């Protein structure tokens, strides 16, 4: 059972690595500062580094902070990770950004309810309130910051084309790798956007790897360092081998961006995520970025927002947690009927 738990943790980490490429590197790629291939090559080692050296506290929190007492047994944890892995992979295949932390937390809640273990409802309630409020807050901030940056000449000079419409940032030929070429492509914004994407990649590794490997720490299967390195390897592999679809979707299919919009979205995403972390909470990098992009797009008018794609993403945000709690509960009940409910309660 510990081996199966470890395999599922690596699989979940792999799926998360692919899933968060757009959240980390979507904005620099949208402005053609960096090609898709180079964006993934920059992101992969940074996600591993963040997971290996800066995830230890989060590993412990996720491993022990959602269920009362000793937590769930190995059987229940295997079900939780299987649900989270399966749903995240499905959303990645559908190219729909979702929140892996929400999927994980609600699958834990479903399994805990079925197993009769106590859920820390106050903690879950605070997280749920944050998750509901973060996208509209990010959208409002993205709208306002885009308007502010429009008044800064260095940003506003390329906000619109000659006809007054937003300049599209659709897929382009590969961009050369030198910083000088990137700067010519993106002006002064290029190095800052690329740096923000690199920082977001490190932060994603440090913050999100625990979704996959926190259970390995909570069950004392691995130390936080070993769990971070194992999960970090899975994240990096997912970035490199399956990361392009979500990178393209976030970069080009949600909002047509220009420089002020991209900068506003990236800054608002960082502000929302870091504010939550400062209070010891977790929120979704995808939801913060997509919300900020929607707000920035609204500052440009309806033509810049791809409403069909955005509607599908919002629908996925609702379906993901609902499916996670239902599957976590249902599969745990089935396992309890098969092997005895007492085996699914607290970890030994």
Single out the residue of 63, 89, 19 nearest to residue 285, CA to CA. Answer: 19
Helix axes of 244-252 and 2-19: crossing angle, nearest 10 degrees: 30
Map tokens 């919009």 to a residue: 261
Helix (H, G, I), strand (E, B) or coil at 72: strand
Q: Residue 327 belongs to what domain range?
A: 2-332
Token look-up 């976030």 returns: 250
Distance CA 69, CA 161 (A): 60
Number of C-beta neighbours around residue 28 at 10 A: 31
Does residue 348 belong to any structural domain of this protein?
Answer: no
Alpha-carbon distance of 51 to 210, in angstroms, equals: 8
| CA separation for the pair 132, 135 (Å, rounded) | 7
Give tens-digit pLDDT for 123-155: 888 888 988 999 999 999 999 999 998 887 766
Q: How far apart are CA 143 and CA 299, in angstroms?
A: 5
Whether 184 has a pLDDT exceeding 80, the answer reads: no
Confidence at residue 189, expressed as pLDDT on a 0 to 100 scale = 67
Q: Which residue has the tokens 């084309």?
A: 161
Task: Determine phi and psi for 251, rounding to 5 degrees.
Answer: -70, -40
Domain annotation covers residue 344: no
Query: How far apart (Å, rounded) are the C-alpha atoms in residues 134 and 27?
Result: 19
pLDDT mean over 319-323? 93
- C-alpha closest to that of 157 among 189, 191, 195, 196: 189
Residue 151 lies in a domain: yes
Q: Is residue 338 part of a domain?
A: no
Q: What is the DSSP string of 326-348?
A: HHHHHHHHHHHHHH-GGGGSB--
Q: Is 99 helix (H, G, I), strand (E, B) or coil?
A: coil
Q: Is the pLDDT of residue 179 over 50?
A: no
Q: Does 346 reside within a domain?
A: no
pLDDT band at 309 (very low <50, low <70, confident <90, very high): confident
pLDDT at 64: 66
Q: What pLDDT is recorded for position 190?
A: 73
With H, G, I as helix, E, B as strand and everything else as coil, classify residue 70: coil
End-to-end Cα separation, the chain, in angstroms = 14
Is the pLDDT at 65 greater than 80? The verdict is no
**Residue 191 domain-assigned?**
yes
How far is Cα 35 from Cα 93, in angstroms, rounded to an integer? Answer: 21
**Residue 337 in domain:** no
User: Which of 96, 28, 67 lies closest to 215 in space, CA to CA?
Assistant: 67
Tokens of 304: 């810049």
Q: Quick check: 290 pLDDT over 70?
A: yes
- What is the pTM (predicted TM-score) of this model? 0.82
Res. 161: pLDDT tops 60? no
Which two three-digit tokens encode residue 234?
């899975």
Number of separate domains in the chain: 1
Confidence at residue 61, expressed as pLDDT on a 0 to 100 scale: 66
Tell me whether residue 339 is in a domain: no
For the stretch 13-47, pLDDT in tens is 999 999 999 999 998 898 888 899 999 999 999 99
């Amino acid at each position: 059972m510990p081996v199966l738990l470890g395999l599922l943790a690596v699989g979940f980490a792999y799926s998360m690595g692919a899933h968060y490429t757009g959240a980390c590197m979507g904005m620099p790629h949208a402005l053609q500062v960096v090609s898709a291939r180079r964006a993934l090559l920059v992101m992969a080692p940074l996600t591993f580094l963040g997971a290996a050296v800066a995830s230890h506290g989060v590993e412990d929190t996720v491993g022990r902070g959602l269920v009362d007492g000793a937590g769930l047994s190995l059987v229940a944890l295997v079900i939780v990770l299987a649900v989270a892995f399966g749903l995240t992979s499905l959303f990645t295949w559908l190219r729909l950004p979702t929140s892996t932390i929400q999927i994980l937390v609600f699958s834990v809640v479903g399994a805990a309810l079925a197993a009769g273990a106590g859920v820390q409802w106050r903690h879950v309630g605070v997280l749920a309130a944050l998750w509901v409020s973060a996208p509209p807050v990010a959208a409002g901030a993205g709208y306002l910051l885009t308007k502010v940056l429009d008044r800064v000449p260095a940003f506003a000079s390329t906000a619109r084309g000659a006809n007054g419409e937003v300049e599209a940032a659709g897929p382009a030929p590969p961009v050369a790798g030198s910083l000088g070429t990137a700067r010519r492509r993106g002006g002064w914004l290029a190095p800052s956007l690329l740096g923000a994407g690199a920082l977001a990649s490190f932060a994603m590794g440090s913050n999100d790897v625990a979704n996959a490997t926190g259970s390995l720490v909570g069950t004392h299967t691995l130390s936080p360092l070993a769990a971070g390195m194992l999960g970090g390897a899975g994240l990096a592999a997912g970035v490199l081998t399956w990361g392009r679809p979500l990178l393209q979707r976030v970069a080009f299919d949600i909002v047509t961006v220009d420089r002020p919009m991209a900068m506003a979205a990236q800054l608002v995403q960082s502000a929302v995520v870091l504010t939550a972390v400062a209070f010891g909470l977790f929120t979704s990098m995808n939801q913060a970025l997509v919300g900020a992009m929607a707000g920035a797009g609204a500052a440009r008018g309806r033509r810049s927002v791809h409403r069909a794609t955005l509607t599908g993403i919002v629908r996925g945000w609702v379906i993901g947690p609902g499916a996670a709690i239902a599957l976590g509960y249902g599969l745990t009940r089935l396992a309890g009927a098969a092997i005895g409910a007492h085996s699914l309660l607290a970890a030994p």
